[in-house]
Amino acid sequence: MNKRRILFRADGNTEIGLGHVVRSLALAEILIDFFECVFITRYPNKLIQEYLKKGIKIVQIPQSDEHLKDFLKILNSQDIVVLDNYFFRTEHQIEIKRRVHKLVCIDDLHDQYFVADVVINHSPSVTKEQYQALPTTRLCLGLDYALLRKPFFNLSHRCNFKAESCLICIGGSDPDNISFNLVKLLFKYKQIKKINLVSRVGSIYTNQFKEEELNTKKINIYNNLSDVELIKLMQESDFAILPSSTVSIEALAVGIPFLTGWFVDNQKELYDYYTSQLNIAGLGNLKQVNSLNLKFDQRLPIKFDSAKLLEVFKQLL
């Protein structure tokens, strides 16, 4: 029996970040046993290519302004399309929806009218009242629909906490050298014996530190970690400094305490929720941090599972 095809449309690289790509691929991995999953992007990279091994097909379209036309040529009336890209506005949704079986939008801005069949926003603070959509649009909101990679579901509790080792993961893009500044601030704390610096893709940090700083073995730089490797590093680190993005939800799943901040607008809503509702220590705009307060609560991990996400897509068949 042929599987229904799902086309995921997302872009990301070291300049624009990888958040859309990471969460779209995570969703594809959840659905791969039940659907034919095809990931369509303008910027293939090593992170995306890794998912070929998991059975997800990768299709590259041109990076030019004509990428929408090339995408539309791929669609057929039996497809389910998942959009995770700020390029696509209401008029694009309409054009895509009339060509396919069902349309799903992954969103974190609620700044347009939605005609999609399903909208997914895994922010725990978002409400249905913030959305304008067709009466038939299903809004899947909150952590029940967390777009996490498979290994982050149903993790066991971590217990160690000494505040001696810190993990920093800003993401796949750090043009403002936020990580470098945070490392310099951590150097001021004698109790910090190890700093684990993680990039989603590429060796973007190595050349920023003096050789003598790297030779102290205080800084460990990790690039292109797998999901399992990142979980292990989170479990081995005492706390983290993270943006209020998907990686912070992954940290909730692991149970590692963290300080958080934001550096792009789509992180502000989750940041406000963390600081006001979960009492997580906030650093504000990460581009402007000039001091750290290493006081935070050890918290239990939040248990996530993919059952609701999977059921949503099965109901689209």
- Domain for residue 90, yes or no? yes
Pairing of strands 36-41, 57-60: parallel
Please tell me the predicted confidence (pLDDT) of residue 290: 95
Q: Return d(Cα 24, Cα 36) in angstroms, integer.
A: 14
3-class DSSP assignment, residue 219 = strand
Domain total of the chain: 2
Q: How confident is the model over 153-180, as a mean pLDDT?
A: 82
The verdict on 137 and 175 lying in the same domain is no
Indicate the burial class of 113 (C-beta count within 10 angstroms; 0-12, 13-18, 19 or more).
Answer: middle
Confidence of residue 69 (pLDDT cuts 50, 70, 90): very high
Range of weakest confidence among 39-48, 151-160, 289-298: 151-160
Confidence of residue 176 (pLDDT cuts 50, 70, 90): confident
The verdict on 88 and 175 lying in the same domain is no
In this model, does residue 1 exceed pLDDT 70? no
The verdict on 67 and 123 lying in the same domain is yes
Dump pLDDT digits (tens) for 28-63. 999 999 999 999 999 998 788 888 889 999 999 999
| Those residues with Cβ within 8 angstroms of residue 44's Cβ, 6 or more apart along the chain or in another chain | 58, 60
> 66 or 209: which carries more pLDDT confidence?
66
The verdict on 26 and 65 lying in the same domain is yes
Q: Return d(Cα 205, Cα 180) in angstroms, integer.
A: 8
CB 186 within 8 A of CB 286: no
Pairing of strands 138-141, 118-121: parallel
In this model, does residue 161 exceed pLDDT 80? no
Please tell me the predicted confidence (pLDDT) of residue 135: 98
Query: Half-sphere exposure (CA, 13 Å, Cβ side) for 179?
Result: 27
What are the CA-CA distances from residue 69 to residues 37, 43, 62, 75, 101 (Å)? 21, 17, 10, 10, 19
Q: Tell me the pLDDT of the chain averaged across its residues.
A: 90
- Domain for residue 88, yes or no? yes
Please tell me the predicted confidence (pLDDT) of residue 315: 97
Please tell me the predicted confidence (pLDDT) of residue 156: 72
CB 33 within 8 A of CB 6: no
Please tell me the predicted confidence (pLDDT) of residue 100: 98
The verdict on 127 and 164 lying in the same domain is no
Structure tokens at 312: 């949503």
Q: Return d(Cα 219, Cα 187) in angstroms, integer.
A: 10
Please tell me the predicted confidence (pLDDT) of residue 133: 98
Q: How confident is the model over 299-304, as a mean pLDDT?
A: 82
In this model, does residue 281 exceed pLDDT 60? yes
Please tell me the predicted confidence (pLDDT) of residue 23: 95
Residue 130: CATH number of its domain: 3.40.50.11190
Q: How confident is the model over 259-271, as a mean pLDDT?
A: 95
The verdict on 85 and 187 lying in the same domain is no
Q: Distance of alpha carbon 128 from its chain centroid, rounded?
A: 22
Q: Which range of residues forms the domain containing residue 91? A: 5-151+305-314
Please tell me the predicted confidence (pLDDT) of residue 203: 54
The verdict on 143 and 189 lying in the same domain is no
In this model, does residue 217 exceed pLDDT 70? no
∠ CA(164), CA(158), CA(192), 5° rounding?
Answer: 5
Q: Which residues on neighbouring strands pair with residue 311, listed in sequence order?
A: none
